[in-house]
Structure 1
């Protein structure tokens, strides 16, 4: 197993009052529930109230982009978060789901100039997925810093 070097933690800041939208895929819910839990926990470090976070559940990762697009069009969110888990099976279905989710999320981000955290795990097996659930807090870090930088340019 490859060791990942220690990454420096990003600094938090006061994002109280920011509105965050989260779209969570239900497929592989044992993983996605943990991803969501970690994002909500990390949001507290940025002083984001739970009442300022809207969570929408969808069936699977392919459905995430449409809900993100709908949320982005509302214009009420400072940042969005996509959470899902796709685990490789025996067919090419994995490849298509990963492609559609990735391209769809990127398209929404660019078309709407909306910071979106890409928290869709794409793993070879469930052990890999379980060992990566802690990363969702880092996804929130990334999108909040991206949103802060974007706001500074407007």
Structure 2
């Protein structure tokens, strides 16, 4: 699939972000992507905005949105998770550019590590694969 893709990533947890980026980039490259650009933002809450910028630029076939939100002692987790997911969905529906939700929403660091950087629960790779699947379906149906 010769196309260019974007990765939008919240870097609040830098080590997790790097693992997610590596696996998403690997999935895009394995599928034959022409190129992959990475755009970093402070956290998951900012992902919808950068996804919108990338989608509206016309340069990308799709955007994989990555990051991690780990539950703490307050309700902040609920707001960040829900609003980032809704915002990313809104971007793809408004623009027609596939945007995948590859944000880890977990209880602790062990769960985050198990879902990043390899293995069958790798959210970075799954987000890229979701974008690729939607791009293929869009081409098939157009």
Same fold (TM over 0.5): yes
Q: Which has the larger radius of gyration?
A: 1
Q: Output the CA distance in 2 between the equivalents of 1:36 and 1:97.
A: 20
* 1:39 maps onto 2:27 in alignment: no
Gap regions ≥5 residues in structure 2: none
Q: TM-score, normalised by structure 2?
A: 0.92
* 1:103 maps onto 2:91 in alignment: no
Moved beyond 4 Å, runs of 4+: none
* 1:82 maps onto 2:70 in alignment: no
Aligned to 2:126: 138
Alignment coverage as a number of residue pairs: 137
Of 3, 13, 22, the match for 1:28? 13
Superposition deviation, residue 96 in structure 1: 0.6
Q: Output the CA distance in 2 between the equivalents of 1:97 and 1:125.
A: 16
Q: CA RMSD in A?
A: 1.1
Gap regions ≥5 residues in structure 1: 1-14
Structure 2 counterpart SS, 1:57: strand
Aligned to 1:119: 102
Q: TM-score, normalised by structure 1?
A: 0.85
Q: Output the CA distance in 2 between the equivalents of 1:139 and 1:93.
A: 24
